[in-house]
Structure 1
């Protein structure tokens, strides 16, 4: 299902938005992240998929592969560390903590009694736990009933203390806020709510790294369309704001993709304000199974996202399999269930003459996709994709070395 955003604007990046998210702060975050050993060196791959482009009737498809971002396997490794660094520097301005020394554990003795907490669908909590371990502070993660056990164990392996609740993601956000208030801890969340925007802003600023690298790798302004995963909206806001500031009226047409059962951004577009999902908020796309739009992210998407669409779970699974198999000229790619959502949205739109016309998709379209995660739950990935992740990666390496 496709919904146009009548309020979307092109042209000069709005000054009120630049005061919140801007290229200067995003590039500063990128420099700080470059010193953290929790990330793999260099930019993530930007794959060209010519056979898939021909199959879908577009000029080109480029896929930015965040599964290679770090051992954590997702783009979330860009947001949580930056938010934690900036929080600590704000709390102790007199200490003048150096970001590179923070992530190297130089101040562990001073921060060992400092505790952060967050709710998560898996990837954000894992990234926060990893950053907290490097910095030397304590980390508590609230998990809801739908979080896969593999993701829970990965967080525990990184030293995160788990609090499990019998509710959904939105209820885990409320529980994290309650526990922080009770114990004097600090919430480091990737979603905003009333009275809580500074840290989600910092998280979103970290995601600007994805846009910056893509521009450097793909050339100046080659993309006509970008399909971005929804969730609470933070990733989309972080990426499209960077593109809007950089390219202005030449920015790509932005399409937000989310599960049909977790359609909070789609509903926000219908209502013209941050809204709740109308479905069960239960989806195989765990990282996108969010019921409440981040009000801060919506400020950006309300005028920078051109269209919103929902997809069924089966579409994401099929997209995982397509990427895993590759093609004669397309490298095989490990994409988790949320990571494949952008491609699933493109496939769905490409199969409808009405949607193609509405989006201006044709043989001259240059489409950017984001693979937001690799196999962050390996057993689940194998079950859904029909391949082991290591098999797909071996095939990828063979293709690159041929």
Structure 2
């Protein structure tokens, strides 16, 4: 296998040209066979088509291939990886022109579809009409729009039209939950994840894939607390706040779900949203289950929907309600769950126009309340003469409530740590 038949392709070439970090490098090999790759020491890992791992670097090397659509969905392809398949034929099956470039071993840039020009212009443009044959590409372009938003990229009008047609024609309905979640998870991890969801909304796909989120757009909120008014806009502002804080994907997904219940508020009660927490919890869990997200991600989404306003109003809670929240989060055993809730709630109060720098003193108070509850000596209570069975649990709970009540009675003692007064205008949702 000669080096002049091996090319660096795709995202590695694209990101090198725009100065974006990319640790994943993919290669295409032209004019060879699976047998020759194996003999050269490469390890086969591909299922539908031959992909091999380099024996030293572990990087992926794929045989040049051509594809032909044979059935609906993204599994309906016949793949040809004969040695006669050219590099240009391989590049022509890719989604965007900026991903259809290659670099030869001598450094020569191979760009048969104008990817370099689109890269300089900041345009995400499809390579050919074959783009519409794979519904995953709709999600991938939305994800690229989010990932490259800091570089000023936008989707070409004709590509956006194709994406809209893929939605209206029903091609998007062939997507399976695992693929939707895989692309969503990667989009959530970008610096501007809101762009992913705005893009899907522009092409009609948000209502099909994320109806709980789509339903929030046009739902009003009290302008006193939400200058942005629209609940959908607020939700995506919150999401971007979690990204700016570099919160993990679990928190970002929970932020996306935290206000789903507002879409269920009767029109006569709007712009107020009393009870949206209870209404939102099953919606958050339903989306998570439909996408088959990991259990910890699903649990945090439901937790955020149900309890976020309790954390906002923490200093006004009764001790038993504060303990209910901590127990619902399993925070006494897993204090990191409270930290996740704090991250989501801090993003919630900052995801409002003109309030991006708000402090969140409730965080420090909730931490102290948790520490106080954790300090209760459960072993000593269990050893109390005359206490047995459920009475032990009741006594432990009472002691924890007493400890939390003491913290809530004197929140002013925490001002120096919290960065401001405990009670703020953000007590309201």
Tell me the TM-score normalised to structure 2 length.
0.21
Greater CA radius of gyration, 1 or 2? 2
Say which structure, 1 or 2, has more relative contact order (CA 8 Å, 6+ apart).
1
TM-score (normalised: structure 1): 0.22
Q: Whose helix proportion is higher, 1 or 2?
A: 2
